[in-house]
Chains A and B, each alone.
Chain A
Amino acid sequence: MAAIKEVERLDTDEGGMGYLQSLPRKVVTVYLPLLVFVIVLLFPFYWMTITAVKPNVEMTDYVNYNPFWVVHPTLEHIRYLLFETSYPGWLLNTVIISTASTFLSLLAAVLAAYAIERLRFSGARQVGLAVFLAYLVPPSILFIPLSVMVFNLGLYDTPFALILTYPTFLIPFCTWLLMGYFRSIPFELEECALIDGASRWQILTKILLPLSVPGLISAGIFAFTLSWNEFIYALTFIQSSEKKTVPVGVLTELVRSDVYEWGALMAGALIGSLPVVVLYSFFVEHYVSSMTGAVKE
């Protein structure tokens, strides 16, 4: 990877020889496929939105109404969701659980990444590799033993069951990302501070962390999104309706066996997606860098 890394992003002359392509050719090879991709990738969101504001009459009447549009938009589904179900509670639970597990993971990851990358204690490389391997352990093979543990520890059906288990996939990811970030900060800064008599803790909090703010934001929002989206642990460890998170609540509580209330379901899916989408739209670059950063190293 070193050969590639020497050449940093060549954003300045991206497209490079693109001017050699004629416009008609570019329409067929680039714009048309891009249009199809964008339509296919965004259609479910459009469909989600339009269903969420569609009155029930129009929703199933494809003869008199064009299903792609809504004639009399209504907020009835959203009102029902917010005032007649436990949805606001699920939102609050998800916010609390995601925030807590993100902070817990970031704290642990900053210390671990600093130790592995900068203290370089004996065995640091092996520990670094172990952290990466931990990232590859999927929740699908851990949820059964974890459910036994959660039950024995008395955490079953409490938010702590999730706050303490989400770090199992957040810490490896954040540590790995922050290791890469710390590596990019010049070592000389730390040496100067050491000569001036700064302690390790001072170096970390006064030099390294202020310089790592972009990396911390990347890791933080990515971790927040991952815990917001988590499903299998939340489904397994939480029983009571009012303690559920949004993804689990929408799926298990809003789906009645006889009638599917598609409007409310879609409104639930839409509102449940909004926080991460808003967060994402503010930090697109951080998000992309954290996603690709974990892969590039």
Chain B
Amino acid sequence: MAVPSVAVQRRPSILSRLAGSRNALGLGFMLPAAALLLVFLTYPLGLGVWLGFTDTRIGRPGIYIGIENYEYLWSDGVFWLSVFNTLLYTVSASILKFVLGLWLALILNEKLPFKSFFRAVVLLPWVVPTVLSAIAFWWIYDSQFSILSWALQQMGLIDHRINFLGDPTNARASVIAANVWRGIPFVAITLLAGLQTIPQSLYEAATLDGASRWQLFRHVTLPLLTPIIAITMTFSVLFTFTDFQLIYVLTRGGPVNATHLMATLSFQRGIAGGQLGEGAAIAVAMIPFLLAAILFSYFGLQRRRWQQGGGD
């Protein structure tokens, strides 16, 4: 969010005369984007909060019922289970994506033959529509004809088929694995872009000072990468926390709600069940978590960057 200093210094010489019209012109240019965003983003955001306080159903406008929806959710075990599932899903998938993504980024940053080919291929899981790759995972996780079960049986590692999506623990692990599969490329490629901006001279200097490979990583790579890690992981956490597609395809929240996330529960109650008010309340309940994630990464990790920038 750097303001271009060049522009700021030179602007007055010529543009100051246009200052009067600049605001009017700016307003005109902003109009299409602002209109679309205000009507279809800001207003629905407010409408969603309002719906959470009503008993609206599909086909019937609701009336204000105060915090009744939230009171109901507070005493609803399924809702709390979905909160727990969402946190478990987000935390474990994000950690795995970060570790594996960083690893892959470090590998791709090495000198490699066919490097651009590998980089292009690695990003494929992220490019392909999530729903369609999730359908492939659904087939891979099939209870009878799972290729994973078959391969593991052939290798003699297991003696009976794994019930990937039918057992609560397995189902949770399976959806997390599918999410990690899709998320690794995003983390790896963005971190790789960050790695490429680290000057080689720093590594050379550290090597001359006798730093080991681990020390190079810990004291050169990691500190310089922290700002990009912060932003990448903020996005990754947001996308994971609000995930809907993968669960909807693979389990629809089952077995016995073990994989219901807040987004899928909100859909199930709000759209499939017709209780728009209650669904909206669940969606609104996601907002504090999202704000917490954004603030944590923004302040927690940005501050480290300032400290490092400020010298030690």
Residues of A within 8 A of B (CB): 1-5, 7-11, 13-20, 26, 30, 33-34, 37-38, 40-42, 44-45, 47-48, 51, 59-60, 62, 67-68, 104, 107-109, 111-112, 114-116, 119-122, 124-125, 127-129, 131-132, 134, 136-149, 164-165, 167-168, 171-172, 175, 183, 187, 191, 194-195, 200, 225, 228-229, 231-232, 235-236, 246-248, 250-251, 260, 262, 265-266, 268-270, 272-273, 276-277, 280-281, 284, 287-288, 291-292, 295-297
Contacts and interface: CB of A to CB of B under 8 A. Distances in A.
Q: What is the predominant secondary structure among interface residues of chain B facing chain A?
A: helix
B280 A145 contact: yes
Interface in B35-71: 36-37, 40-41, 43-45, 47-48, 51, 56
B197 A9 contact: yes
Contacts of A37: 100, 104, 107, 122, 184
B125 A41 contact: yes
A30 B113 CA distance: 12
A187 B44 contact: no
Contacts of A281: 120
A16 to B, nearest CB: 4
Nearest to B281: A144
B128 A273 contact: yes
Contacts of A26: 110
Contacts of A121: 22-23, 25-27, 30
A137 B50 CA distance: 17
A297 to B, nearest CB: 7
22 contacts: A4-B198, A8-B197, A10-B199, A18-B111, A38-B118, A42-B121, A47-B139, A120-B26, A128-B1, A131-B37, A141-B284, A143-B283, A144-B51, A144-B279, A145-B51, A168-B36, A171-B37, A187-B7, A231-B129, A231-B130, A231-B245, A295-B190
The 10 closest A-B pairs by CB, nearest first: A15-B111, A121-B26, A115-B29, A292-B193, A138-B242, A112-B33, A247-B131, A269-B132, A16-B200, A140-B263
B228 A10 contact: no
A148 B43 CA distance: 12
A146 B44 contact: yes
Given A18-B110, A41-B184, A272-B129, A295 B235 contact: yes
Please classify how large the interface on chain B is, using the bins under 10, 10 to 19, 20 to 34, 35 or more: 35 or more
Contacts of A3: 309
Contact of B270 (A137, A144, A246, A265): A144
Given A266-B136, A266-B139, 15 more contacts: A4-B194, A17-B200, A34-B107, A41-B122, A51-B139, A122-B23, A140-B242, A140-B263, A144-B276, A146-B44, A171-B33, A175-B33, A187-B7, A194-B15, A295-B193
Q: What is the predominant secondary structure among interface residues of chain A facing chain B?
A: helix
Contacts of B80: none
B11 to A, nearest CB: 7
Contacts of B163: none
A250 B245 contact: no
B291 to A, nearest CB: 10
Contacts of B84: none
A288 B228 contact: no
B18 to A, nearest CB: 8
A262 B135 CA distance: 9
B14 interface: yes
B147 interface: yes
A135 B202 CA distance: 35
B112 interface: yes
B14 to A, nearest CB: 6
A214 B187 CA distance: 23
Contacts of A141: 45, 48, 242, 263, 266, 283-284, 286-287, 290
